[in-house]
A and B are shown apart, each in its own frame.
Chain A
Amino acid sequence: MGRKPGAAPVRAGGRDSRLPAPCICFFYFNGYAPLEIFRQIALGAFGNAFSTNTTLAKSIPILFCALATALPARMGLVSVGAEGQLYFGALAGTAAVLSLTTAPFWQLFPATLALTLMGGALWGAIPGILRAGLGVNETIVTILMNYIGIQLVEYAVYGPWKDAGNLGWPATIAFPQAAKFPTIAVGAFSSNWALVLAVVLALGLHLLVERSRWGTALALLRSNPRVARMAGLSYVTHAIAVMALAGSFAGLAGLVQTANVQNHLQPDISSGYGYVGFLVAWLAGQNFLRIIPLALLMGGLLSAGDALQLFAQLPFANTVVMQALLFISVLGVGAWREKRRSAT
């Protein structure tokens, strides 16, 4: 019962024969050939350059949201707020785009980026302040604020920011090229600099949390707040800073989705990336290095879900079920191994 998160070394990718067993049962039960489906999933995720690019595009927001979950968790804060922070970050970034639409890249992009980071940080800081100042449970506040953030985006795109040129479709004007993350291409593979930013962030956070004084402070605040206070660490400052920082990461997911993927601000920015990111962070045991391959795996699963819908006529709900079964198997197997190890 006294297990810390991350104590269970869950191997990413699951080279474990038992892992897809529930998925096999699910497909078999519904009259599909499981092995053929798995082959299709692998092809749909990484079969060619196009599908790999789709996978990368879907992995970016998941990665950002996973970072936004794992950082507060390092301090013992359970934030489920990446989804709302993603939306509010995108909303704030869009404000810059709308006011500086014709500005050149070197002006517009930094402005958009700055506002996005601030928006996400605000949406993360509010639960942080409430937690640190009043002791209000942050899990609940982040959940409530998710819905508020989503509704605010809907208000903007159905209301004041709706572009008349869209013929009634609720969305803003198309984003100018100068508001987007620049493209990065290696051969047939193309993505954008947000991917690099996300990976660098993950590596940087890993180093900071594992090797720096700050990382130790967070660990101490999580495991023993009393000792931390005696050591002169302020719970309030750290909680607010960590939540704000995490919020700004999730905001970046919103920006890359809005600017590079969807090209407008529109009601459904994210297909639950905030929650998928949450699960990825927990699967990775809040370890920033492990988050990277797991985010890629999840992105692959999502883009394969799109492909399966087209070719195998499988409804997308399948992908959600598969994701859930995958999580349940990884969590279960990891915990079971841990149990056996501690028993012997």
Chain B
Amino acid sequence: MTATLVSNLLSIALLTSTPVLLAMLGETLTERTGVINLGVEGQMLVGAAAGFAATHASGNPWLGLLVGALAGTLLSSIHALLCLALGVNQIASGLAILFLGNGLSSFYGTSLVGQQIDGFHSMAHGWLALLPGIGPFLGQLTPTVYLAAFLLIASGIFLYRTQWGLVWRAAGESADALRMLGKRPVALRLAGVLVGGLLTGLAGAALSVDYTRTWVEQMTAGRGLLAVGLVIVARWNPWLALPVALIYGLAEALSLRLQSAGADLSPYLLGTLPYLVPLIVLLLTYRGSQRANAMPQELAGVFRGMA
């Protein structure tokens, strides 16, 4: 009984946290090169709208994910243009991107509201579900969960185990050191912003194509901004992004679960959990730890109001 309950909670948590995890991975990779992009929310929204539209038109959810990822990349390129080419303050530029993505997705998504798509086939009867013991649990998950898991491992290995990952991290720590290596910081940062756009667009598409299978205006409901915050909780580390995203997902799953169980608490108070819990985790992880050590040094300047 309790085992089923835990497995149910965990699978809901995995499903709800997948878009957030993807967005966190994207923003982690961006920030590691020394650029912060607050436009994640906007990139997720255009990814969700474009991905949904492509799935609706073609009937192929994989194509939807791809189109969503490309839409996110396209929007993030504006952020790259503003910050890297023109030297606009990154925080301000990111919020402008957020607004733009919000407006564009609402504008072009008007005709998508209320449309139906099929999304991915259920994996409840595939070969995964036939595995002994954990089969039923694995079968409850959807392809994007596995895709996110793969991308998590890929970005973790890339950042910490490859030569390019070392250069990538050096871009965020010290542009001068990078120049001494004979690499160009701007080129790496451009890559950082675009890869971030790709993953956050994918995150939005995962939300609309796979998780909710609908398009609603502003459906990301703050997940993008939250992801930027959770990147800090996870200390710019892809490996830590998983537990942090899961904590968010569990809070979300728990509040959904308690609501459906008819808890005495108001659903609106429970609705604060997904934001309150990361906040508390943020405080707990800050206590007694060496602060600012985990932050890429080039980012610290942005937060001090220099761009």
Give A residues with C-beta under 8 Å from B.
Answer: 1-5, 73, 76, 78, 80, 130, 134-137, 139-141, 143-148, 151-152, 154-155, 158-159, 222, 275, 278-279, 282-283, 315-325, 327-328, 331-332, 334-336, 338-339
Which of A4, A146, A279, A332 lies at the interface centre, i.e. has the most chain B CB atoms within 10 A of its CB?
A: A332
Cα of A80 to Cα of B40 in the assembled complex, Å: 15
B residues 269-307 near A (Cβ < 8 Å) are 269, 271-272, 275-276, 278-279, 282-283, 286-287, 291-292, 303-307
Cα of A331 to Cα of B272 in the assembled complex, Å: 34
A-chain residues with CB within 8 Å of residue B275 when the two chains form the complex: 144-145, 147-148, 151
B-chain residues with CB within 8 Å of residue A327 when the two chains form the complex: 92, 95-96, 99
Question: Whole-angstrom distance from the CB of B92 to the nearest CB of chain A?
Answer: 4
Question: Whole-angstrom distance from the CB of B27 to the nearest CB of chain A?
Answer: 12
Which of A137, A158, A222 lies at the interface centre, i.e. has the most chain B CB atoms within 10 A of its CB?
A: A137
Picked from A140, A278, A320, A323, the residue with its CB within 8 Å of the CB of B282 is: A140
Is B180 interfacial (CB-CB < 8 Å)? no
Cα of A237 to Cα of B232 in the assembled complex, Å: 25
Contact bitstring B214-230, A, C-beta under 8 A = 1, else 0: 00010000100110110
Q: Is the CB of A282 within 8 A of B286?
A: no
Q: Is the CB of A321 within 8 A of B305?
A: no
B-chain residues with CB within 8 Å of residue A3 when the two chains form the complex: 87, 89, 306-307
Which of B38, B81, B305 lies at the interface centre, i.e. has the most chain A CB atoms within 10 A of its CB?
A: B305
User: Known: A147-B275, A331-B82. Contact between A325 and B226, CB under 8 A?
Assistant: no
Is B86 interfacial (CB-CB < 8 Å)? yes
CB-CB nearest 3 A-B residue pairs = A320-B103, A317-B106, A321-B103
B-chain residues with CB within 8 Å of residue A140 when the two chains form the complex: 228-229, 232-233, 282
Cα of A155 to Cα of B276 in the assembled complex, Å: 15
Picked from B88, B91, B266, the residue with its CB within 8 Å of the CB of A158 is: B266
Q: Is the CB of A136 within 8 A of B306?
A: no
Is B107 interfacial (CB-CB < 8 Å)? yes
Cα of A141 to Cα of B110 in the assembled complex, Å: 33
Q: Is the CB of A328 within 8 A of B96?
A: yes
Interface size class of B (residues with CB under 8 A): 35 or more
**Chain A minimum-CB-distance residue to B106:** A317
Give B residues with C-beta under 8 Å from A.
Answer: 38, 78, 81-82, 86-89, 91-93, 95-100, 102-104, 106-107, 110, 175, 217, 222, 225-226, 228-229, 232-233, 266, 268-269, 271-272, 275-276, 278-279, 282-283, 286-287, 291-292, 303-307
Q: Is the CB of B104 within 8 A of A78?
A: no
**Chain B minimum-CB-distance residue to A225:** B304
Picked from A76, A136, A317, the residue with its CB within 8 Å of the CB of B103 is: A317
A-chain residues with CB within 8 Å of residue B78 when the two chains form the complex: 328
Q: Is the CB of A279 within 8 A of B92?
A: yes
Cα of A335 to Cα of B303 in the assembled complex, Å: 18
Picked from B268, B279, B287, the residue with its CB within 8 Å of the CB of A145 is: B279
Question: Whole-angstrom distance from the CB of A141 to the nearest CB of chain B?
Answer: 7
B-chain residues with CB within 8 Å of residue A335 when the two chains form the complex: 82, 86-88
Q: Is the CB of B303 within 8 A of A318?
A: no
Q: Is the CB of B107 within 8 A of A134?
A: no
B-chain residues with CB within 8 Å of residue A331 when the two chains form the complex: 82, 86, 88-89, 92-93, 96
Q: Is the CB of B305 within 8 A of A78?
A: yes
| Sample of 26 A–B contacts (CB below 8 Å) | A1-B87, A1-B306, A2-B306, A3-B89, A5-B92, A5-B305, A5-B306, A73-B305, A76-B303, A134-B286, A135-B286, A139-B303, A140-B282, A143-B228, A222-B304, A275-B98, A282-B89, A282-B95, A315-B110, A319-B103, A324-B100, A328-B100, A331-B88, A331-B96, A335-B86, A335-B88
Question: Whole-angstrom distance from the CB of B306 to the nearest CB of chain A?
Answer: 6
Q: Is the CB of A321 within 8 A of B95?
A: no
Q: Is the CB of B110 within 8 A of A135?
A: no
Question: Whole-angstrom distance from the CB of A267 to the nearest CB of chain B?
Answer: 9
User: Known: A5-B307, A317-B103, A317-B107. Contact between A324 and B222, CB under 8 A?
Assistant: no
User: Known: A141-B282, A148-B276. Contact between A315 and B87, CB under 8 A?
Assistant: no
**Chain B minimum-CB-distance residue to A160:** B266
Cα of A242 to Cα of B56 in the assembled complex, Å: 50
Besides the known contacts A135-B291, A136-B283, 10 further A-B residue pairs in the complex with CB atoms under 8 A apart: A134-B286, A144-B275, A145-B279, A222-B304, A282-B92, A283-B92, A318-B103, A320-B102, A331-B92, A339-B86
Question: Whole-angstrom distance from the CB of B14 to the nearest CB of chain A?
Answer: 22
Cα of A336 to Cα of B85 in the assembled complex, Å: 9
A-chain residues with CB within 8 Å of residue B86 when the two chains form the complex: 331-332, 335-336, 339
Q: Is the CB of B87 within 8 A of A282?
A: no
User: Known: A332-B86, A335-B86. Contact between A1 and B272, CB under 8 A?
Assistant: no
Question: Whole-angstrom distance from the CB of B101 to the nearest CB of chain A?
Answer: 8
